[in-house]
């Protein structure tokens, strides 16, 4: 009998992660000292995360419910996205009066992403009500909760998120059994930057009056981070034209591990095995991260184009049907960088709204520097980051340390969020809110 079983379980985590998830077996360099994290290479840290023995203890399960907000704003959803019928979020409530914390996901991630789940479990364990939110850069948010359907402009994203959070707050207010003592806010990666802008907005609107806010590994400048990630693709040996050979080599390596393996089941452990003895180079790792990022960018760019009929990759008048092949658009988007999207769609859109806008001033509006005075003077906002985070460019970490001062906690290693599950990291994050 044929069946869905033939789709590997890892499919739901999307192609890049298939190769990425399981690099965990790479030799560990245990470093002494109180911060016990094994990878000093930021690429490995980013891809492999935290091996089990270094992780914080978390509950296996928490009583998470998935709830949906119906679409109320933004352009009509085209037929090809028929499956997007509302914005899901996750929620777990304590049975007693407790603080409620919102967790905002990173680029392209939804409310049930792995990192989000780690944070929700940790906060729930600490006695908070928890709400997991999808990133404004995710297809589901773009199609059902964004007013412009053009994500990335921090002030707009923050306003959309704020709207979503208020709707959740109102829904909870109708539930007599829920007692909320105060509101807390956090987010990781792009979600960290979002949290900062939401907090700023809340300063004026005062719907939540967040008690504490923590930014986890945010980019300082979105534009700089995006350009950097965009260029990682150049690490493919021979350039992007040779991606096929690069991919074939990865597959071949996994095949060899499969032949060697006595278990002979195709699963994550096998990919793990494939890279155990023959560690990939930094260039290869950067290329894998670059490809993963490009795929996620492609998904976002195409979603925006189809929602707004901007004529970016799809001819404006073309109405796609659910049976139309999207292969050509995928191939095209994989070829176009995120920076191209920024210059050819994003900037022109905002230039129309604000004729005096320059590229430089737009880039600045997508940076934490835009709200620097607010971040400097607001004692309730903290920062957790890693000195070797690969999304930062030279000098960023010093600027962040300067802005946040004693409210900045910088770990020496961990890459981009690779140490999120690490004991000391997670303990610091949870304790920040206590």
Partner 1 sequence: MDFMRTLALGLCFFLGACSTTPKSTQTLSEPTFLYDRIVKDDIATPLDIWDPLETFNRASYRFNARFDDYVYLPALHGYQAITPDIVETGVSNVFDNLDDIRTLVNQILQIKPIEVLQTGARLITNTTLGLLGLFDVASYFDLPKYHEDFGQTLGYYGVSPGPYLVVPIMGPSNLRDGFGDIVDTLPVAPLFEDHPDRKLMAYLLRFLDERAKTSFRYYETGSPFEYELVRLLYSTKRRIEVSE
Contact set for partner 1, span 186-245 (CB under 8 A) = 241, 243-244
15 interacts with partner 1 by CB under 8 A: yes
332 interacts with partner 1 by CB under 8 A: yes
Q: Which of residues 300-319 bind partner 1 (CB under 8 A)?
A: 302-303, 306, 310-318
How near is the Cβ of 279 to partner 1 at its closest, in Å? 20
83 interacts with partner 1 by CB under 8 A: yes
Span from 151-159, 331-339, 390-398, 421-429 in contact with partner 1 (CB under 8 A): 331-339
How near is the Cβ of 42 to partner 1 at its closest, in Å? 25
How near is the Cβ of 295 to partner 1 at its closest, in Å? 7
Residue from the set 284, 298, 419, 422 that interacts with partner 1 by CB under 8 A:
298
Distance of alpha carbon 369 from alpha carbon 35, whole angstroms: 30
Span from 61-69, 291-299, 353-361, 403-411 in contact with partner 1 (CB under 8 A): 291-299
269 interacts with partner 1 by CB under 8 A: no
How near is the Cβ of 169 to partner 1 at its closest, in Å? 25
Query: How crowded is residue 284: how many other Cβ atoms within 10 Å of its Cβ?
Result: 18
Residue from the set 55, 167, 279, 335 that interacts with partner 1 by CB under 8 A:
335
Residues 6+ apart with CB under 8 A from 263: 269, 270
Residue from the set 325, 356, 394, 406 that interacts with partner 1 by CB under 8 A:
325
292 interacts with partner 1 by CB under 8 A: no
69 interacts with partner 1 by CB under 8 A: no
Q: Which of residues 123-182 bind partner 1 (CB under 8 A)?
A: 138-140
With beta carbons less than 8 A apart as the criterion, state whether 424 and 414 touch: no
Q: Which position has the token pair 């709200």?
A: 371
Q: Which of residues 94-113 bind partner 1 (CB under 8 A)?
A: 108-110, 112
352 interacts with partner 1 by CB under 8 A: no
Q: Distance of CA 117 to CAs 59, 125, 188, 223, Å?
A: 11, 12, 12, 28
248 interacts with partner 1 by CB under 8 A: yes
Closer residue to partner 1, CB minimum distance, 60 or 262 = 262
**Max CA separation in the chain (angstroms):** 65
How near is the Cβ of 66 to partner 1 at its closest, in Å? 11
61 interacts with partner 1 by CB under 8 A: no
Q: Distance of CA 385 to CAs 93, 179, 220, 286, Å?
A: 29, 32, 11, 20
How near is the Cβ of 338 to partner 1 at its closest, in Å? 13
359 interacts with partner 1 by CB under 8 A: no
Closer residue to partner 1, CB minimum distance, 27 or 237 = 237
How near is the Cβ of 9 to partner 1 at its closest, in Å? 5
60 interacts with partner 1 by CB under 8 A: no
How near is the Cβ of 319 to partner 1 at its closest, in Å? 9
34 interacts with partner 1 by CB under 8 A: no
Q: 381: which strand partners? A: 213
259 interacts with partner 1 by CB under 8 A: yes
How near is the Cβ of 237 to partner 1 at its closest, in Å? 15
How near is the Cβ of 367 to partner 1 at its closest, in Å? 25
């Amino acid at each position: 009998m044929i069946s869905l079983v033939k789709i590997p379980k890892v499919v739901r985590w999307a192609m890049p992660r298939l190769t990425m998830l399981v690099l965990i077996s790479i030799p560990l360099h245990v470093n002494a000292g109180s911060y016990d994290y094994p990878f000093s290479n930021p690429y490995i840290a980013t891809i492999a995360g935290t091996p089990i023995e270094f992780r914080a203890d978390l509950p296996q399960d928490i009583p998470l419910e998935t709830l949906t907000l119906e679409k109320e704003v933004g352009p009509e959803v085209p037929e090809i996205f028929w499956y997007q019928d509302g914005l899901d979020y996750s929620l777990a409530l304590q049975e007693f009066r407790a603080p409620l914390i919102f967790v905002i996901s990173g680029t392209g991630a939804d409310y049930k992403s792995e990192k989000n789940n780690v944070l929700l479990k940790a906060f729930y364990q600490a006695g908070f009500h928890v709400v997991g939110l999808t990133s404004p850069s995710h297809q589901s948010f773009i199609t059902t909760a964004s007013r412009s359907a053009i994500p990335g402009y921090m002030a707009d994203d923050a306003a959309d998120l704020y709207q979503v959070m208020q709707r959740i707050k109102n829904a909870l207010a109708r539930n007599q059994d829920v007692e909320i003592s105060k509101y807390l806010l956090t987010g990781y990666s792009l979600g960290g930057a979002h949290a900062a802008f939401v907090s700023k907005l809340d300063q004026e609107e005062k719907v939540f009056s967040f008690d504490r806010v923590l930014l986890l590994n945010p980019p300082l400048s979105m534009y700089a981070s995006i350009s950097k990630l965009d260029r990682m693709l150049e690490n493919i040996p021979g350039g992007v034209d040779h991606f096929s050979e690069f991919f074939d080599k990865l597959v071949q390596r996994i095949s060899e591990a499969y032949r060697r393996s006595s278990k002979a089941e195709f699963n994550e452990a096998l990919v793990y095995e494939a890279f155990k003895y023959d560690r990939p180079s930094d260039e290869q790792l950067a290329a894998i991260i670059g490809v993963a990022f490009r795929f996620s960018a492609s998904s976002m760019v195409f979603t925006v184009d189809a929602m707004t009929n901007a004529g970016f990759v799809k001819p404006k008048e073309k109405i796609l049907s659910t049976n139309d092949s999207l292969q050509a658009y995928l191939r095209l988007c994989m070829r176009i960088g995120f920076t191209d999207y920024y210059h050819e769609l994003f900037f022109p859109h905002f230039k129309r709204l604000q004729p005096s806008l320059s590229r430089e001033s737009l880039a600045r509006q997508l940076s934490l520097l835009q709200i620097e005075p607010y971040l400097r003077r607001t004692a309730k906002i903290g920062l957790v980051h890693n000195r070797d985070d690969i999304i930062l460019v030279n000098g960023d970490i010093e600027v962040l340390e300067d802005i946040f001062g004693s409210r900045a906690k910088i770990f020496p290693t961990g890459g981009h969020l690779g140490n999120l599950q690490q004991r000391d990291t997670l303990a610091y994050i949870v304790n920040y809110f206590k």
